[in-house]
Amino acid sequence: MADTLAPRALIGVMTPAMNTVVQPELELLRPAGVTNQMQRFRLGGEKISEDLFDEAKKLMDCKPLALAIGLTTDAGPGGVEKLNARCGELSERIGIP
């Protein structure tokens, strides 16, 4: 089914379940012809939980052009390096950047 609101791009966006800022901010920044498809995941202890991968797989059902993660990198142990590694693993698992 064609997405009449997203002729340019459909972007998958993931953010922690408790984050209430990312979705409204990205909606304000969204250009015409692009839609943001949101999916939330739980954070697990000292690492981003496996929930991230499970929820990303669900988000792929809408066939986004790309995936963005709205997450404060310094909020958890490991910081930017750990998040970069996890994002690389996520991209490999789902097959899109």
Ranges of each domain in the chain: 41-64+75-97
The percent of residues above 90 in pLDDT, for the chain, comes to 47
The percent of residues above 70 in pLDDT, for the chain, comes to 86
pLDDT value of residue 20: 92
pLDDT value of residue 2: 63
Rounded to whole angstroms, the Cα distance separating 6 from 49 reads 30
Which tokens hold the place of 41? 């995941």
Helices H, strands E: what count in the chain?
Answer: 3, 5
Q: Are 64 and 96 within 8 A, CB to CB?
A: yes
Rounded to whole angstroms, the Cα distance separating 33 from 35 reads 7
